[in-house]
Structure 1
Amino acid sequence: MPSPDFQSASPTPAQPVAAAPVAPVRVIAVASGKGGVGKTSVSVNLAMAMVNAGQRTLLLDTDLGLANVDVMLGLSPRFTLADVFAGRCELRDTLLEGPGGLWVVPAASGKRHMTELLPQQHVGLVHAFSQLDLPIDTMVVDNAAGIADGVLTFCQAAQDVIVVVCDEPASVTDAYALIKVLNRDRGVSRVQVLANQVQNAAEGRQLFGKLERVASRFLDVTLNYLGAIPRDEWLRRAIQRQESVIEAFPSSPSAIAFRDIARRAGQWQSPLGPSGHVEFYMERLITPARSAVA
């Protein structure tokens, strides 16, 4: 039976360090201060755009109480992370193969106890991924909205954080609150900002400008403008069809924008090693350094 802190729910026994260097996994956390800004749609389509660009990609749903990544992709999971925590399966058993070869780890929906996990259980989940022997280049983490402990831990454990914001006063205010807590409480010093559901490129820039002006005055954080996703009827239709717009309508304005976002993310500097706090795929970050010394 797994221990309360999830440590014994590791997916596989510890593996010996490989002789050949293993490329580090790029982990990107997608978050938002406010719900309803299209964060999960961003996660799904960003992951699919990366798959189409040749990246072996895993999409992890960490909205542990109201998960819907599997619903958006029309998948029917046999097991979810709730089953892992309950000891009914291992992490590997939750893996689903989605469209285009995208790997998906689904969370549970309507499981209130999953929203009340202890901080060490969130950390235990992060550590479990270090032992998941899956050949991937990138992991996209779809977080719950807000500033709960799990959101902060999963963002801190990633190499890059994307905060999704739309043109609503509450969205901008809550996005700033999330960035402030990540920076002051978790030491996150760099955040990518993605404007969603904008009417035009200028609107996206204006949204970013609002956040940047306040953050530069009160926080020790660097905000980068990742780009904007336009308000697009084709995206709405893709959601209704339970498909990514990348697959359903590849020539649509939103699909083009997601491919551009994925291209920019692919140009970010790869992690050179662990940063000193809890991280996804820690072993992948340590192994290259060991191999170089050997």
Structure 2
Amino acid sequence: MPAANAPIASQVPLVPVRSIAVTGGKGGVGKTNLSVNLAASLALLGKRTLLLDADLGLANVDVLLGLSPQHTLADLVSGRCELDELILEGPAGMLVVPAASGRRHMAELQPAQHVGLVNVFNDLQRQLDILIVDTAAGITDSVLTFCQAAQDAVVVVCDEPASITDAYALIKVLARERGVDRVQVVANMVRNPAEGRALYDKLARVCERFLGDVSLNFLGAIPHCDWLRMAVQRQQAVATAYPASASARAIAEIARRAARWEPPVAPRGNIEFFVDRMIRQGAVA
């Protein structure tokens, strides 16, 4: 295996990376659990997967996976380390970029600094297929920027009025302020698949009525699952700890759908993760 800083790009051209931002409007809907297990499930499918913890002020991906990072994004922002030095290996060979928890200055970064965090991924000399971005809750600039910079925004909803309301608010702001016109929806903590579909339909009706230019797609539903709770307590991904559980199987199906999405072929003309790889690919083609 080449050293972390080896000039891999000069040996083998770096392939374009499909980037997927997982968000949810409000906290408590399970977006970080989905991010962690979606990344693990994609890695199990053979996809070279990197998980970015982009909840800059209240990060917990490392806690969910029982990892002990030596450096976090706070060190990157302060200039104490490079992006490649942050990367940890998680379950199934997935890679993780950890953020810091309880660092108020990270939660209060300026918009230009959020753009800078997106652009720093252009310097990463690793072969990857998919980037999963776990955003913070709410409609802050960091959430909007990371969703805008990804090819796909996945909005997690659960069967609570506040979850539907906040998901709609997030989708509206993404569409009106950032030009995001396609959103994937995952229904979480449902009793059965029909409940998940009904939850999606409820959100889709509201968006169709008031946001006619936004396309929603139902990506899947994840059931209530005691095995998932047990995996969280053990600081493991349910996808690897209990792969036969209902939640792990549901997330594996979502991963299979996401794995079929094609890598980007050209930049869209705005802020975007790994944009240099797309430009180089276009020049080669």
Fold shared, TM-score > 0.5 on shorter chain: yes
Q: Which residue of 1 aligns with 2:27?
A: 35
Deviation at 1:269, TM superposition (A): 3.2
Q: Which residue of 2 aligns with 1:202?
A: 194
Displaced runs of 4 or more, over 6 A: none
Q: Distance in 2 between matches of 1:162 and 1:240?
A: 25
- Taking only aligned residues, the RMSD between alpha carbons, in angstroms, comes to 1.7
Q: Distance in 1 between matches of 2:217 and 2:250?
A: 17
Q: Distance in 1 between matches of 2:8 and 2:128?
A: 18
Q: Which residue of 2 aligns with 1:124?
A: 116
Q: Decide whether aligned partners of structure 1 residues 43 and 17 sit closer, same or farther in structure 2, where only a CA change above 3 A counts.
A: closer
Q: Distance in 2 between matches of 1:42 and 1:23?
A: 25
Q: Is 1:235 matched up with 2:223?
A: no
Q: Distance in 2 between matches of 1:235 and 1:98?
A: 17
Q: How does 1:213-292 map to 2 (within 5 A)?
A: 213-219=205-211, 220-292=213-285
3-state SS, counterpart of residue 266 of structure 2: coil
Q: Distance in 1 between matches of 2:23 and 2:201?
A: 19
Q: Which residue of 2 aligns with 1:147?
A: 139
The percent identity for this pair of structures is 62
Choose which of 65, 82, 85 in structure 1 pairs with 2:77.
85
3-state SS, counterpart of residue 104 of structure 1: strand
Q: How does 1:41-120 map to 2 (within 5 A)?
A: 41-120=33-112
Q: How does 1:117-196 map to 2 (within 5 A)?
A: 117-196=109-188
Deviation at 1:97, TM superposition (A): 1.1
Deviation at 1:105, TM superposition (A): 0.3
3-state SS, counterpart of residue 219 of structure 2: strand
Instruction: Specify every segment of 5 or more residues in structure 2 that has no aligned partner in the other structure, as ranges.
Output: none
Deviation at 1:78, TM superposition (A): 0.4
Q: Decide whether aligned partners of structure 1 residues 190 and 207 sit closer, same or farther in structure 2, where only a CA change above 3 A counts.
A: same
Q: Distance in 2 between matches of 1:43 and 1:243?
A: 13
Q: Decide whether aligned partners of structure 1 residues 176 and 89 sit closer, same or farther in structure 2, where only a CA change above 3 A counts.
A: same
Deviation at 1:98, TM superposition (A): 1.2
Q: Distance in 2 between matches of 1:16 and 1:67?
A: 30
Q: Is 1:23 matched up with 2:23?
A: no
8 Å contact 1:19–1:291 — kept in the other structure?
Answer: no
Q: Decide whether aligned partners of structure 1 residues 260 and 291 sit closer, same or farther in structure 2, where only a CA change above 3 A counts.
A: same
Q: Decide whether aligned partners of structure 1 residues 71 and 19 sit closer, same or farther in structure 2, where only a CA change above 3 A counts.
A: closer
Aligned residue-pair number: 281
Q: Distance in 1 between matches of 2:266 and 2:118?
A: 16
8 Å contact 2:39–2:51 — kept in the other structure?
Answer: yes
Q: Decide whether aligned partners of structure 1 residues 190 and 136 sit closer, same or farther in structure 2, where only a CA change above 3 A counts.
A: same
3-state SS, counterpart of residue 132 of structure 2: strand
TM-score, length of structure 1 as denominator length: 0.92
8 Å contact 1:157–1:280 — kept in the other structure?
Answer: yes
Q: Decide whether aligned partners of structure 1 residues 289 and 18 sit closer, same or farther in structure 2, where only a CA change above 3 A counts.
A: farther
8 Å contact 2:8–2:126 — kept in the other structure?
Answer: no
Q: Which residue of 2 aligns with 1:5?
A: none
Deviation at 1:63, TM superposition (A): 0.3
